[in-house]
Structure 1
């Protein structure tokens, strides 16, 4: 069923002819716009589970959550002119004539917010550094859709502002690893490719490439997997103005199998930039995440604002595109007007591709609905009493659904409780009510051969706040929620 957690993941692109036909017939198009998604309850439960994992990891690393408007001024992104992302914006003029866009990414919004904390005269930040912030924003890009890539997606961002050393990089890399481990993904499934734009910058300086061409060169090299080495070499010659020999040497160096080989091929030896990257790998090993990391000189990331270490999560089976990515961006705040450069490190982690990976590895949980109790009235005269019982259970912190029909036919109520995944069912009937009692049956907390006197109890109305103590040994414990086991009757 569409609303069970195994719904079809790939949204169907709408055929314009079908849209026109529907409009002509006076109907509406039922599919969402291409590249966007509906979230039925089963999918929504999985998304909430995923976001809870994001939040739990971020909190365990001392990060605080923030947010910003999904609608931003277009200029915020056009400051990084020439990037592919500026061509993919959902941008328009609002009714006041302002050029605005749905945010394609979160980092510029973060930069804008940090700038608001700065004192205009000195550039000092009116907050205790480092800032450790995270967010799970919805982002919009008009790009080609494919498995794991939509035009709208949610993206977990973690950023550290104010730490210049690679300790910050190792900390956010460790957070990524902690997330993977929390959802059952291992270093056999996923790896993190690490490189440094500083190292590449040293190579380009050695090759005579001017500083102003650095960002454009990185964006071109980032296309290696998409367009191949020959096309990248051609763009380096045509767009950056490198000689064919230098372009070939740069592309050849990006294929190095290790940091040492890259430094040797590129002629940068034991430079400061190489030493910094080596330090990162040493710290990662001490941290216990060294087996997740590997050097890859071809990873430069497509955003122009990265200035140092960059990294990218990848599926070792090669089935899916990049899972996450990030790096150091020490010059972004000054690009937006800061009087001083502020060191920053962060990553973005999209929801679409990780859901695909979890499905691929069969570790995405099928999450039951959250109903803990169904309350059923014996007849219509008892419906008001049933609602009172539901209210008392809710006041006790339980998630309660009221069976909408009278339950003279008990099987109907049981079927309903099973369908909504309830852990227990409460029957409100005249005889028990006269004695101030409610009959409650535990449907999922015991084995089938458990005696009925343990599974079914008459609970006093005044004790509904402590209902769990009437079911000692139940697997439902203090929650009373649905379990994976089928109900027993």
Structure 2
């Protein structure tokens, strides 16, 4: 008999032991009625000491207890979601839907089309040999068919996969957006979770800086719709081509470029000494390291041109973007910051990220040009750029600024039969109103006082009372909850 079978039989026998006072240590809150519920296992007669029971930890969500009345072994389930994930209550869903509606409306205004992709993707789509932090944060595993899969940590590779799949049937340029869930096993801070929803906007097939200007304008338009101003949020802008020009100046081999970008992206996350040591460790000379650090500190075009010259492509692209910013009206939002390179290996040109000017939150959104991504997957080089905008950070910023909307539950009508015999007529009235497009809450078996409080709580517009005397006359009693006026209304005139 295999060891697995023996272990399974042993586990079943343990679960049939009666009169056990406890099978595992419970945390102090594990039996709290609002945090846990119990499921049952049958009990019988195997010595308790033969069971190797688990200790109580934050990630151990199943705890065993015994029902003293019938001897059944119970499992107390921690009702918190997995660490780093969220439940969405009706209040949370109203806020999420409101935010997503704003994402969609901005996308519509810029003539983008919505697409979507599976949350579960092939692991190979996200494994790159660039030392990226993201490759260490994957929720990856082998499925039952032996295939290596991953919960997507970002959306852009899925977009590239779909475009490559569609091939020449697509007519460029494409302007696509999506709102999807992403997963990363990372250290959590305020606004940073292990799962989040992300609004992605991508432009495929346009090589000119106009595409980046459109994307940055989209982000600014979203901020303005939410009540956020340029004094609240700024957008740092740079170009990977600028860093590439620095590497060329110091004769650093091209194959080190991506590694240098990944290291430089840590500039504001770890001490400068560590940045220098990491650059040296991948083969960058000390003189080149000092040159890179010097350029990354630059904040103006004259300084940048003094070192690299005005004829460099990266410098010219950035100056063009700033000209567009004047035309679009978002020049007060953006600033040159050569230290911005973004951590993903596939960026090739202009990169940008929005930040909280108070410095309390992580980057709000970020993106850039990725003209080489398709060839990384075996396709042809295709001009492309895009950004990702997470839901968690922007909600935190709106909280800080007092800009969260009041999104209380709204109902048009409450229908309430005053007598149990009128439940059928009340159902018919509610059904007719719903078919006419009104939201209706049909209530039974409650006191009238409770119904009035409920109507106020959910912001109902009308209360429709179905009473015997009115019904016999072909009418119902209607109370306008905003004016407090009430009258009898014929059923056929109710709308």
Could you state the TM-score of these two structures normalised by the residue count of structure 2?
Answer: 0.85
1:242 aligns with 2:284: yes
Aligned to 1:476: none
Match of 2:321 among 280, 300, 322: 280
Aligned to 2:78: 29
Aligned to 1:428: 466
CA 21–368 in structure 1, closer or farther in 2 if over 3 Å, else same: closer
Please tell me whether the aligned partners of residues 128 and 135 of structure 2 are also in contact (alpha carbons under 8 angstroms). no
Match of 1:142 among 185, 188, 191: 185
Alpha-carbon shift at residue 81 of structure 1 (Å): 4.4
Aligned to 2:30: none
Aligned to 1:151: 194
Alpha-carbon shift at residue 414 of structure 1 (Å): 0.4
Aligned to 1:53: 102
Please tell me whether the aligned partners of residues 80 and 304 of structure 1 are also in contact (alpha carbons under 8 angstroms). no
Aligned to 1:85: 134
Aligned to 2:206: 163
Alpha-carbon shift at residue 22 of structure 1 (Å): 5.2
Q: How do 1:92-131 and structure 2 match up within 5 A?
A: 92-118=141-167, 125-131=168-174
Aligned to 1:323: 364
Partner deviation per Cα, 1:53-82 (whole Å, 9 max, x = no partner): 101111111111111111111001114542
Match of 1:259 among 301, 311, 314: 301
Please tell me whether the aligned partners of residues 325 and 348 of structure 1 are also in contact (alpha carbons under 8 angstroms). yes
Match of 1:373 among 413, 419, 436: 413
1:192 aligns with 2:235: yes
Aligned to 1:481: none
CA 443–285 in structure 1, closer or farther in 2 if over 3 Å, else same: same
Aligned to 1:456: 486
- Runs of 4+, deviation exceeding 4 Å: 18-22
In 1, the alpha carbon distance for the partners of 2:62 and 2:142 equals 29
Please tell me whether the aligned partners of residues 415 and 463 of structure 2 are also in contact (alpha carbons under 8 angstroms). yes
Partner deviation per Cα, 1:312-341 (whole Å, 9 max, x = no partner): 000001111100000000000011111x31
Paired residue secondary structure (2:224)? helix
Alpha-carbon shift at residue 97 of structure 1 (Å): 0.5
Paired residue secondary structure (1:387)? helix
Partner deviation per Cα, 1:273-311 (whole Å, 9 max, x = no partner): 211210110011111111111111110000000000000
Partner deviation per Cα, 1:402-441 (whole Å, 9 max, x = no partner): 11225xx532220121233322211111222222222222
Larger Rg: 2
In 2, the alpha carbon distance for the partners of 1:297 and 1:79 equals 25
Paired residue secondary structure (1:198)? helix
In 2, the alpha carbon distance for the partners of 1:51 and 1:169 equals 22
Name structure 2 gaps, 5 residues minimum.
Answer: 1-54, 66-74
Partner deviation per Cα, 1:363-395 (whole Å, 9 max, x = no partner): 011311132211111111111111111111111
Bigger shift: residues 247-256 or 182-191: 247-256
CA 157–19 in structure 1, closer or farther in 2 if over 3 Å, else same: closer
Aligned to 1:472: none
Alpha-carbon shift at residue 19 of structure 1 (Å): 5.6
In 2, the alpha carbon distance for the partners of 1:348 and 1:165 equals 20
Q: How do 1:218-229 and structure 2 match up within 5 A?
A: 218-229=261-272
Please tell me whether the aligned partners of residues 371 and 383 of structure 2 are also in contact (alpha carbons under 8 angstroms). yes
Name structure 1 gaps, 5 residues minimum.
Answer: 1-14, 119-124, 447-451, 466-489
1:337 aligns with 2:337: no
In 2, the alpha carbon distance for the partners of 1:302 and 1:158 equals 18
> How many residues are treated as equivalent by the alignment?
432
Aligned to 1:63: 112
Partner deviation per Cα, 1:10-32 (whole Å, 9 max, x = no partner): xxxxx953565851322111111
Paired residue secondary structure (2:84)? coil
Paired residue secondary structure (2:78)? coil
In 2, the alpha carbon distance for the partners of 1:270 and 1:460 equals 80
In 2, the alpha carbon distance for the partners of 1:163 and 1:222 equals 26
In 2, the alpha carbon distance for the partners of 1:311 and 1:102 equals 26
In 2, the alpha carbon distance for the partners of 1:213 and 1:81 equals 10
Could you state the TM-score of these two structures normalised by the residue count of structure 1?
Answer: 0.86
